[in-house]
Chain A
Amino acid sequence: MFIGLDVGGTHTDVVLIGKDCILRQVKVPTDPTNLLESVWSGLEKVTEGVPPEEISRAVLSTTLTTNAIAENKLVPTGMIVTSGPGVDPECFRTGEHFYHVSGSIDHRGREVQSIDQLEIEAVASRLRADGIRQVGVVGKFSVRNPEHEIQIREILGDEFDHVVLGHRLSGNLNFPRRIATTYLNAAVYPIHKRFFDAVKESLQKKGLTIPIYILKADGGTMSLESSLDSPGQTILSGPAASVMGSLPFATENEETLVLDIGGTTTDMAILIRQTPLLDPLGIELGGFKTLIRSLRTQSIPIGGDSVVRYENDKITIGPDRQGRAMAYGGPMPTPTDALFVLGKTSNGDVEAARRGIQNLADKAGAAAEEMATRIFDHACYSILNAAAQMISDINSKPVYTVHELLEGYQVQPQEILVLGGPAPFFAFRLAFLTDFQVHVVPQWQVANAVGAALARNTSEVTVFSDTERGVVLAPEENYSASVKRDYDKKAALELALELLRKKSIAEGGGEGELETEVLEELQFNMVRGFNTTGRNIRIKVQVKPGLIPEYKDIAQTLFNYCPLPE
């Protein structure tokens, strides 16, 4: 049996999945001030009376790190940065304890200026004096040559609780994002560690020794142990849970738009033949632009509980939420109230909903039913417009080869999958308003938790080789070796795939889960004068987001609900 748990803004959804169906589904209110309690009570309810040895894994998706960043509750963290020429690194200052020190590496990975040991020691003692326990170390072009980061790490010794090196987090070029990524990984580390130590302890106390996996923003999972190396990857895993839950129901040959319509927001994502589209660079959150791998998702502030207003002859929906719908005792009319007026749902106070909508209808000089239809359509069109904009942004992404530009692959989904609380109502109307094939994901209210439970490990490996310099390296894997002039793309690709396999297994992926994909495979002849002096090789491979293979074929039936006796 599997557990999937997804902490959302208002609810925490938990499912227990058996051999061929969902055995239990639980919704507990999320207490943002005590996430541990929300997680724990969810786990307790879903495992009640279940023999612990029958549970083989629990996958958790929490808002812990996301909230810490969004609410600016990060622990003071030291940053030591080397840059060399270019944009002034002061522009990327992360806070008070940010130190720009000597040392410079160029775009080929050659040392231009060495680091200064005394300078680093002085910075270290200031950090210590200021009570700093976590430190991030980042160099410009450290993914071309991580030597300076490694040297600084050695000088810092074991005087700090946790030191994060920029080149270990992503193989991509982008110094400002490397700084932000390193900073966040260092700054959320203590929160993340404390939280999961507490989860483990609580489980052990109850005799539940279940292997814990954490959901990442790219829709993959990693073991709790490996999450300690890069807790930043847990940021924004919420939207990924829903996308993973929609996968089994997407068409195999086409592109799909996924809409997760919640209380406050609607999250959108794109699937291409059942594989979610990844963000080309990484998460952006709370003013930070990062290199943290993530699904390409977009959130708009329109949901079932968004406040509806009528001002200047116009309907507006959101961006705020002032509690639940009036039908459930809330203070302001919402799209959910419109559904009540339209008779689509009735498990609440229909009269209260009607009062709210009637009030708006009076302002517009319309009947309540007509107003409700207009509100509902307005919500649908706002979502569709935002989706069209996202698709257009995806299609206008620049490419850098003649071949890719002429080929001009364009995303054009024909299908929408809807999940989240009001999914069926929206699906019905979206189908009416558009030419899309619209489907509702079964168990739409807990599909996110099922998605988390069934997600496999994802990993990415970047290999870079400069045969003129005689090196090949995989910065994230802490791998480097000498190579001869005849080293080529084929050899680099083999190395990348081997490193990827190791990485995926180390992070808790099963051998059977290794569906690998080559993302980038470039080889340039380096010519100096009129002679070829070497090769410049860039490889990027990944295990792409997907469901655990042994469940892939039965994934659809796994969404059936066959409740255990209470």
Chain B
Amino acid sequence: MLRAPIKTGLVFFPAFDWAISATHPEREERLLYTQDQVFEEGILDIEGIVEYKPDLATIKDVQRVHFCAPDEWSVMTESHLISAGGAKTISIEVMEKRVKRGFALVRPPGHHAMRVVHGCRGFCNINIEAMMVEFMRDAYGVDRVAIVDTDCHHGDGTQDIYWHDPNTLFISIHQDGRTLYPGSGFQHELGGPTAYGSTVNIPLPPRTSEEGFLYVLDNAILPILEEFKPDIVVNSAGQDNHYTDPITAMNFSAQGYAQLTQRLKADIAVLEGGYAIEGALPYTNLGIIMAMAGLDFSKVKEPDYRPERIRQSSDTGRYIEKVVAQTLEYWQNRHSLGERVRGNKQLAERERSIFYDTDNLLETQREKLRVCSDCCGVLAIDSSTDSGYHIYAVHIPRKACKKCQETGYEWYDAAGIANFNRVFLQDRTHNQYLTKSD
């Protein structure tokens, strides 16, 4: 009888009756062959692998993380709450120590969903990892969290949510933003002034293969994690770095994913993208599950796997070495660099445009952060879309100081409903979520 050395929880929710549209990559069929493979391999019969039914996440779980405009039900469906609920269920099982690790094999994904949500971008509506992490912080008092995003696309939503949070280390490895959606995730993106260095972006060139990914893991990600000392490590386990993925250009494999999983030792993995539904997902998911559970995955290989055919060039290898050296340099100097960015600023402001590719919306944001020496600072976002919806949202962070809390309420009170369609306050110190509109 096969027994898993590491007790591992699994939520499997393929949402066989949900799609963005009939021929969209995020469609009913996406996890069909993965289910076939997982069932056929008898994974759920293995002693030490436990399958859980996902709980539905709640609106409160959404409101800990997002400002949904105009409201939650306008930008998401029940299936998003199930997907987020799947991740949440796994986190409960891990935190209650009923399993050592867990994998939420769910869809739809979430890592492109930012703090403000006007619609769907990059197939994502609400950020399922962030909702899970903030739930764990509330329910279990978890403090330091590392999210390692191994999806091929830059996890710009997760980055946005944790941009100003020094207690959440966000590391994303992805195909270089100059060559792939969403076009961000460059090395100089290091976090806001009060959390500088806690965002780590490691863009990799197209056709990076196993050696490249594992080199980055061993030489950048693992040493940084070691130093950060997170209470919990979360892996946003997108699987679109695969050599057969139709919408990316990388050369990763099931063996590679399994080895990465084995070395990363994440407490919780959450599925993100991955659209090679036949040639990759059945094998990568199998490899990841087996690696998490400490099982021998050496025979998990795609039928057409030929390592020599997907090996990266030596130029690519050298390029990656340089990227890693730069990452380490930023990491080692993050404190002094952060000081320089903060300077004597009282307020830090930035302005940017965010495109919702799936819903074809353009959002313009003006963000204002109180640069505080006692906490990571209260944040206000003035956001409007090209469809004419205008909101103002105030976020008081979890460990905000008294002054920042007061400032947050002042900003909220000062924002008149004459100027905005809706005004929001998310007070994470008291778990309050207030809105006003005319």
Interface of A toward B, CB cutoff 8 Å = 84-88, 91-92, 104, 106-108, 112-113, 140-141, 144, 172-177, 281, 287, 289, 396-403, 405-406, 522, 524-527, 529-532, 536
Q: Once bound together, how far apart are the Cα atoms of A287 and B47, in whole Å?
A: 12
Would you list 6 pairs from A and B whose C-beta atoms are within 8 A, ordered by A residue?
A: A85-B299, A85-B300, A172-B39, A176-B41, A402-B18, A524-B29
**A176 x B14 contact (CB < 8 A):** no
B227 within 8 A of partner (CB) = no
Q: Once bound together, how far apart are the Cα atoms of A108 and B40, in whole Å?
A: 12
**A177 x B299 contact (CB < 8 A):** no
Restricting to B38-94, which residues have a CB under 8 Å from any CB of A? 39-43, 45, 51-54, 56, 77-79, 82
* Shortest distance from the beta carbon of A180 to any chain B beta carbon, whole Å: 10
| Residues from chain A with Cβ under 8 Å of B35 in the complex | 400
**B17 x A402 contact (CB < 8 A):** yes
**A177 x B45 contact (CB < 8 A):** yes
Nearest-neighbor residue (CB-CB) of A142 within chain B: B40
| Residues from chain B with Cβ under 8 Å of A402 in the complex | 15, 17-18, 77-79, 82
* Shortest distance from the beta carbon of B244 to any chain A beta carbon, whole Å: 12
B288 within 8 A of partner (CB) = no
**B36 x A532 contact (CB < 8 A):** no
Q: Known contacts A401-B17, A526-B29; can you find 20 more A-B pairs with CB under 8 A?
A: A85-B299, A85-B303, A87-B290, A107-B33, A140-B40, A141-B36, A172-B39, A174-B39, A176-B41, A177-B45, A289-B42, A398-B12, A398-B51, A401-B18, A402-B15, A402-B79, A405-B13, A405-B82, A527-B27, A532-B23
B143 within 8 A of partner (CB) = no
| Residues from chain B with Cβ under 8 Å of A399 in the complex | 53
B301 within 8 A of partner (CB) = yes
* Shortest distance from the beta carbon of A170 to any chain B beta carbon, whole Å: 12
Interface segment among B278-286, B362-370, B376-384, B395-403: the answer is B278-286
Interface of B toward A, CB cutoff 8 Å = 1-2, 11-18, 22-23, 27-29, 32-33, 35-37, 39-43, 45, 51-54, 56, 77-79, 82, 246, 278, 282-283, 286, 290, 295-296, 298-303
| Residues from chain B with Cβ under 8 Å of A281 in the complex | 45
Nearest-neighbor residue (CB-CB) of B15 within chain A: A402
**A530 x B23 contact (CB < 8 A):** yes
**B53 x A396 contact (CB < 8 A):** yes
| Residues from chain B with Cβ under 8 Å of A113 in the complex | 303
Q: Once bound together, how far apart are the Cα atoms of A406 and B77, in whole Å?
A: 12
Q: Once bound together, how far apart are the Cα atoms of A112 and B52, in whole Å?
A: 33
Nearest-neighbor residue (CB-CB) of A172 within chain B: B39
Nearest-neighbor residue (CB-CB) of A395 within chain B: B53
Nearest-neighbor residue (CB-CB) of A106 within chain B: B303
**A525 x B82 contact (CB < 8 A):** no
**B54 x A405 contact (CB < 8 A):** yes
Q: Which of A87, A400, A406 contacts B299 (CB 8 A)?
A: A87
Q: Which of A87, A401, A522 contacts B15 (CB 8 A)?
A: A401
Q: Which of B17, B39, B42 contacts A87 (CB 8 A)?
A: B42
Nearest-neighbor residue (CB-CB) of B34 within chain A: A107
The 10 lowest CB-CB distance pairs between A and B, nearest first, are A176-B42, A173-B39, A112-B303, A107-B36, A401-B17, A173-B40, A398-B53, A85-B301, A524-B29, A91-B2
| Residues from chain B with Cβ under 8 Å of A536 in the complex | 29, 32
| Residues from chain B with Cβ under 8 Å of A108 in the complex | 33, 278
| Residues from chain B with Cβ under 8 Å of A530 in the complex | 23
Q: Which of B22, B51, B302 contacts A85 (CB 8 A)?
A: B302
* Shortest distance from the beta carbon of A230 to any chain B beta carbon, whole Å: 20
Q: Which of A84, A174, A526 contacts B45 (CB 8 A)?
A: A174
Given contacts A289-B45, A397-B53, contact A527 B23 (CB under 8 A): yes
**B303 x A104 contact (CB < 8 A):** yes
Given contacts A107-B36, A287-B1, A398-B51, contact A86 B23 (CB under 8 A): no
**B23 x A107 contact (CB < 8 A):** no
| Residues from chain B with Cβ under 8 Å of A174 in the complex | 39-40, 42, 45
| Residues from chain A with Cβ under 8 Å of B301 in the complex | 85
* Shortest distance from the beta carbon of A256 to any chain B beta carbon, whole Å: 24
Q: Which of A172, A177, A400 contacts B16 (CB 8 A)?
A: A400
Q: Once bound together, how far apart are the Cα atoms of A174 and B43, in whole Å?
A: 9
**B2 x A176 contact (CB < 8 A):** yes
Nearest-neighbor residue (CB-CB) of B85 within chain A: A405
| Residues from chain A with Cβ under 8 Å of B298 in the complex | 88
| Residues from chain B with Cβ under 8 Å of A289 in the complex | 42, 45
* Shortest distance from the beta carbon of B83 to any chain A beta carbon, whole Å: 10
**B51 x A175 contact (CB < 8 A):** no
| Residues from chain B with Cβ under 8 Å of A396 in the complex | 52-53
| Residues from chain A with Cβ under 8 Å of B302 in the complex | 85
**B42 x A107 contact (CB < 8 A):** no
**B1 x A85 contact (CB < 8 A):** no
| Residues from chain A with Cβ under 8 Å of B296 in the complex | 88
| Residues from chain B with Cβ under 8 Å of A140 in the complex | 40
**B12 x A400 contact (CB < 8 A):** yes
Nearest-neighbor residue (CB-CB) of B80 within chain A: A402
Nearest-neighbor residue (CB-CB) of B82 within chain A: A405
Nearest-neighbor residue (CB-CB) of A144 within chain B: B36
Nearest-neighbor residue (CB-CB) of B254 within chain A: A85
| Residues from chain A with Cβ under 8 Å of B17 in the complex | 401-403
| Residues from chain B with Cβ under 8 Å of A176 in the complex | 2, 41-42, 45
| Residues from chain A with Cβ under 8 Å of B27 in the complex | 525, 527
**A86 x B286 contact (CB < 8 A):** yes
Q: Which of B18, B45, B77, B300 contacts A86 (CB 8 A)?
A: B300
* Shortest distance from the beta carbon of A312 to any chain B beta carbon, whole Å: 27
* Shortest distance from the beta carbon of A398 to any chain B beta carbon, whole Å: 4
| Listed residue (A85, A177, A403) with the most chain B CB atoms within 10 angstroms of its CB | A85
Nearest-neighbor residue (CB-CB) of A405 within chain B: B82
Q: Once bound together, how far apart are the Cα atoms of A92 and B45, in whole Å?
A: 12
* Shortest distance from the beta carbon of B352 to any chain A beta carbon, whole Å: 31
| Residues from chain A with Cβ under 8 Å of B282 in the complex | 107
Nearest-neighbor residue (CB-CB) of A83 within chain B: B299
Q: Once bound together, how far apart are the Cα atoms of A529 and B247, in whole Å?
A: 10
| Residues from chain B with Cβ under 8 Å of A531 in the complex | 23
| Listed residue (A287, A405, A525, A531) with the most chain B CB atoms within 10 angstroms of its CB | A405
**B299 x A88 contact (CB < 8 A):** yes
Q: Which of A405, A524, A532 contacts B28 (CB 8 A)?
A: A524
Given contacts A104-B303, A174-B42, A531-B23, contact A87 B2 (CB under 8 A): yes
Nearest-neighbor residue (CB-CB) of A403 within chain B: B17
Given contacts A287-B1, A400-B14, A532-B23, contact A84 B42 (CB under 8 A): no
